Amino acid sequence: MISELKKRIITSIVLIGIFLFCYFIHAYFFYALIVIVSLISWIELNNIFKKIKLKKSLKNINVFLSFIYLSFFAFTVCYSYHEKISLIFILLVCIFSDIGGYIIGKTIGGKKLTKISPKKTISGSIGSLFFSIIPLFILNIYDNDEYLIKIFIFLLCLLISLACQIGDLFISYLKRKAKVKDTGNILPGHGGLLDRIDGIILAVPVGIVGLIIIY
């Protein structure tokens, strides 16, 4: 268990390091990274579809829809690159949402949220929503905004957290249908790349679109 935890920590540090390097070195490095991440995630997602018993026509539709899904994710992330504060803000909301779900879920426990992912609890889901507003105070992102915009951004944090949870549950549902534990084995201690960013894939586009609408 300790060796597995070490793998997860080392892998997480490496991933964050690669992301920050590409993020700050040059836009083209960042775009290339997002395209590669999206492509690997698409491959992993379609490997899951192959293990689910579906008609060939439905599998082809799923391949197409998953391509659109991940392409939209890649487009919104690349689009937001020059608005660095927006992307950092959304990623922080996702991170704190995940932390809140883990801490509150482990501490309080209680009734399970859904059969799709037995480890997730209602208390953990509420904890995710509660922790998701912390980045507002860290970045003071809406200090000088009008009162109405402040309310919208507050609600957007909750929406991003909800999208993050739904994205996570969606991939968990597919893994359950395919009878697999992980989406792949590319990341030591984590499984597949999609296992790490399943919630972010949905949450980032929701956050970017939300900020565009608000401002």
187-211 pLDDT tens trace: 876 688 998 899 999 999 999 999 9
- The beta-strand segments (E) located in the chain are none
What is the reported pLDDT for 1?
45
DSSP string, 34-47: HHHHHHHHHHHHHH
Low-confidence winner among 8-12, 32-36, 159-163 (lowest mean pLDDT): 8-12
The rounded Cα 124 to chain-centroid distance in angstroms is 16
The Cα-based distances of 31 to 28, 80, 175, 205 in angstroms read 5, 11, 28, 16
pLDDT score of 4 more than 60: no
Full-model pTM? 0.89
